[in-house]
Structure 1
């Protein structure tokens, strides 16, 4: 039986403080989605979002094939490039952190939602290791391979009501491996991750946030998707579903 998760009242009544870690493949598309989400919420008399984007990478010509940057932004820091788009083209007041952020730098009182759009498993595991004991910070993770991926929304704490990506999957032994290989051309970039896989991940992630804030509750807190078969499979807020991943609230 599904168990609806109810949003903290702060998300419904106050401005939502978002930290987006990663402004590349999925993160660059997420920035546009968050801008749209902010616009819609404000038009419904919500206080909207304030987004901080962290990334230490630099925009290259190869990035332009599947990442959402302007051609004139090659050579710019990725976080600063995305914030430039948000602030100068859409009138937002987003903030850039132009460096790779360390898990210990994330303050659980500074943000309401943490979004990770990163390639390295070690980053996810590091964030999981530094989670606070309690709290209402939500962690929305987006991940993908060549043609498929998943999104998972969970609590970033040691006593979660809904499990995070690292509660459902063991990242402790995963190697960063291929994630550290950089693409030197558009052909290599598309060969590693097909066109649309990042945008699909970002769209589903933003839709999940919209469902939560707009409706005040959700009974689905993630999804698996495949861009080749065009299939999507929900992850339900359900003890039965969580048990299939080997997770339970009592064991958290």
Structure 2
């Protein structure tokens, strides 16, 4: 009798046993990105405590802090006018003693089709609110996947996206990840990009009004108060499992916070 094996993805071995901190590009420092950064601080401390090399994060965002960002995002009144990425990274480094970096430009190609400096990393986490930005990231990652470097080779892309009450987190591999032989599991080496598998979903969930909000009340009409933080915690739990367990049966989830429902996405 043939018994169907559970499909899993085994974490790239370099992430489990690195010689240096794992490089992470966090793209977007708004409602979701600012809270993902907080989760990465916790993850970094926990990994180091467990004997791991930890994380080295670079935060990308060209936006400045406005009145509408206060309260829902990780910003204070005295930080208005500062770049979001700079304010957050300065605070993180002072608090945790890290040497993480801030970029005050968008993660995109320039007019000559060149990548931004410091674009390469092992893990990419996108917290952006437009379909265009996601496809731009996907194109850069596809081209970076041909990099011949080992320690900084692009390996994973985790995309966070949401509307007012719903959202999703999708984990993708950048190329294929070598998998061990397993008698117990059916291993999956490639997890497709969110832009390949969920193109229609992205277009439906896009926040079409990208006009900056003038107040917190106006911002909450676009994204409810706790959708960002809930996605950040659940998504970073998936990333933590890659490090802690060395494999995953899941590659993301859909969330409806209004109905308190979540639906996992299995590796397939």
TM-score by length of 2: 0.82
**2:34 matched to which residue of 1?**
28
Is the 8 Å Cα contact of residues 65 and 190 (structure 1) preserved in structure 2?
no
Cα offset for 1:195? 0.4
Indicate if the aligned counterparts of 1:151 and 1:201 stay in contact, CA closer than 8 A.
yes
Equivalent residue of 1:192, what SS? coil
> Of the candidates 121, 125, 146, which is equivalent to residue 135 of structure 2?
125
In the TM superposition, residue 150 of structure 1 has moved relative to its aligned partner by 0.2
* Displacement after TM superposition at 1:6 (Å): 0.6
Of the three residues 240, 252, 265, the one matched with 1:210 is: 240
Point out where structure 2 has 5 or more consecutive residues left out of the alignment. 147-152, 178-188
Alignment length (residue pairs): 238
- Quote the residue 2:7 is aligned against: 3
Counterpart residue number, 1:58: 64
Residue from 250, 263, 266 that aligns with 1:220: 250
> Kindly tell me: are residues 146 and 90 of structure 1, through their superposed partners in 2, closer, same or farther at Cα, counting changes over 3 Å?
same
* Bigger shift: residues 217-226 or 84-93: 84-93
Report deviation, 1:164.
2.1
2:80 corresponds to 1:74: yes
Question: Hey, what does 1:164 align to over in structure 2?
Answer: 193
CA root-mean-square deviation? 2.4
Note closer, same or farther for the CA distance 1:215–1:108 as it changes in structure 2 (3 Å cut).
Answer: farther
Instruction: Name the SS for the 1:96 alignment partner.
Output: strand
Match of 2:265 among 229, 235, 249: 235
CA deviation string 1:179-208 (max 9, x = no partner): 522110011011110000110111111101
2:169 alignment partner in structure 1: 151
Contact 1:223 1:234 in 2 (8 A): yes
Once the 2 structures are TM-superposed, how far is the Cα of residue 158 of structure 1 from its aligned partner?
8.3
TM, length-normalised to structure 1: 0.87
- Structure 1 pair 158–109 and aligned structure 2 pair: CA distance change class (3 A): farther
The residue aligned with 1:195 is 225
What corresponds to 1:246 in structure 2? none
Within 1, Cα distance between the matches of 2:247 and 2:230?
22
SS class of match (1:180): coil
What are the ranges of 5 or more consecutive residues in structure 1 without an aligned counterpart?
Answer: 239-252
Larger radius of gyration: 2
Post-superposition offset of 1:178: 2.2
